[in-house]
Amino acid sequence: MLIDDIFDLHGMQCIEPVFADITEDYYTEALLSVPAEEARLLIDENEYPIALALRKDDHWLAGSFVCRSLSVDVISRFEDVGGDIYQEDASRYLDALREYFSLKLLAEVPPATEDTRPERKELVTSLISDTWGSLHAASCMDCCCGSGVVSEAIRDCGGHPCGYDNDPGLIALGLQSKRLYPHQVMHIDASRATDYVAPVTYGVGCMLGDITAFNAGMWEDIVSELLALSEKTLITTATEPEIRRVEGWAVAEGRTCEVTENERDPIYDRWVCITSV
């Protein structure tokens, strides 16, 4: 496992129970209360501390600060216990955390029933390719990634997907089917995505909805987060009223938009909003 490689250990465990909790300050305090005989501090490429691992007997427990504030008590704890300093790029460590928690999720959560048609990946691949051409190894957000069909299409277009979704069963299905890669997916609330990742060039949100007057506020938050994370964004819905809501939210944030009807798929991705900064 990548997190073991980074700390040069075997069987490292994270104090946070799930990936979504890596933003929570509570787990810093919980880590600092753990009795320890040895410590390992991880710093990033800028020599900023991003994780602390503590050993009690043969058990290593780590807490991470890539997505939450660093307490000065963390440095004091490391100095009190004593140990070695390791260095790794923050982006690679975040990959390691995603991998760790994805494999944990896969071991604990039963996969959902298969939710996609066999031909859908090719349809989405065609849509992305016709919109942007090759992604040239750029990162691309996959909002509400489900079981990973769109992530797979992003890879087929030459991009590196980073998927996120709040449905653990669908993520487990994607991991089991290998449409989702463990280091490229996060089980999080999509309305808080900017708490976990930095903006990239591309973002895709396919088959968003059902968007109704009742839940429009929730979907507006999700779309706003995706727009904040991507300079160029492609969003699809099943109906025109839904895509017009999306268009309105994007325009309100100063985006230029083009709405079209997608003849490839008359069901899931029928209406498309292509928007950019």
Higher-scoring residue by pLDDT: 142, 117: 142
Q: Give the pLDDT confidence score for residue 177 in this predicted structure.
A: 97
Residue 267 pLDDT more than 90?
no
Residue 1 pLDDT more than 80?
no
Q: How confident is the model at residue 169 (pLDDT cuts 50, 70, 90)?
A: very high
d(C-alpha 254, C-alpha 86), whole Å: 43
Matching residue, tokens 């299905």: 173
Q: Give the pLDDT confidence score for residue 237 in this predicted structure.
A: 97
Give the predicted TM-score (pTM) of the model: 0.96
Structure tokens at 190: 């999509």
Comparing CA positions, the residue from 121, 30, 122 lying closest to residue 77 is: 30
d(C-alpha 172, C-alpha 267), whole Å: 25
Per-residue pLDDT tens digits for 184-216: 999 999 999 999 999 999 999 999 999 999 999
Percentage of residues in the chain having pLDDT higher than 70: 100
What 3-state class would DSSP assign to 74?
helix
Q: How confident is the model at residue 265 (pLDDT cuts 50, 70, 90)?
A: confident
Per-residue pLDDT tens digits for 42-89: 999 999 999 999 999 999 999 999 999 999 999 999 999 999 999 999
Percentage of residues in the chain having pLDDT higher than 90: 96
Question: What are the residue boundaries of the structural domains of the chain, listed by start?
Answer: 2-108, 120-276
Contact 235, 258 (CB under 8 A): no
CATH topology of domain 120-276: Rossmann fold (3.40.50)
Residue 251, H or E segment = helix 240-252
Per-residue pLDDT tens digits for 13-40: 999 999 999 999 999 999 999 999 999 9
Cα torsion angle, 100, 29, 89, 56, sign: negative
Going from the C-alpha of 137 to that of each of 99, 200, 218, 233, 253, the distances in angstroms are: 20, 12, 31, 16, 27
Per-residue pLDDT tens digits for 231-248: 999 999 999 999 999 999
Q: How confident is the model at residue 94 (pLDDT cuts 50, 70, 90)?
A: very high
Q: Give the pLDDT confidence score for residue 171 in this predicted structure.
A: 98
Q: Give the pLDDT confidence score for residue 266 in this predicted structure.
A: 84
Comparing CA positions, the residue from 150, 135, 129 lying closest to residue 205 is: 150
Mean of the per-residue pLDDT values of the chain: 97
